[in-house]
Amino acid sequence: MNRSVSTACALAVALCFTSVAQATPSATGGKAVAYAMPLVAAGIATWKDDWTGLAQLTVVTVLTVGTAYGLKQIVRERRPDASRTDHSTGWDSFPSTTSALASAPSSFVWHRYGWEWGVPLFIVSKYTSYSLDKARKNRIWDGLASTVISFGYNALITTQYRKPYGFYSDMEAGPDGVFVTANYRW
């Protein structure tokens, strides 16, 4: 197993065990994961001395959370917990801004550094949606909508990380066939 996969798995496992102390999902644990995800992604970018990636992470996270917050003001969906009876604050369930905060960094890591780093963080970030659903603060599709928003912004903004030197290979499938490229940067 290469170093990046083992490091990403260790980060994901540590994040799960340090921020979620209970066996049952809670909204507090989901929020802890959501707040930790940008810090973990920023730590990975800093560890790689990737200042462009850190700027892209900031832009993508602000856009994702801002879009989710803006849609929350437009789309009127009632929260499932029904604890709020006033109509001014109980109709802001869709999309989940907490899930948006967790989804943006995990999608960033996936797009920027590859699936080896991204999949463990993506799985951990989905705990936020799951815990908010189980705590009846949001529905599961509220979190999925935030994931789609973050995936879209990352596809538009985030570029693939390239080391300053070394051998690179890439493979793309298109309608005309498969294209394989190999480069070496001095």
**Highest mean pLDDT of the ranges 74-78, 129-133, 155-159:** 155-159
Cα(96)–Cα(2) distance, integer angstroms: 35
Per the CB < 8 A criterion, the answer to whether 76 and 105 are in contact is no
Q: pTM of the predicted model, to two decimals?
A: 0.69
> What's the mean pLDDT when you consider all of the chain?
76
Distances in Å between the Cα of 117 and the Cα atoms of 35, 50, 124, 131, 157 are 19, 15, 12, 23, 18
Residue spans of the domains in the chain: they are 3-185
How do residues 3-56 score in pLDDT, each as one tens digit?
554 555 555 555 554 544 444 566 677 778 888 889 999 999 898 888 888 999
How do residues 56-79 score in pLDDT, each as one tens digit?
999 999 999 899 888 877 776 666
Q: Of the candidates 134, 147, 59, 58, which has an alpha carbon nearest to the alpha carbon of residue 97?
A: 147
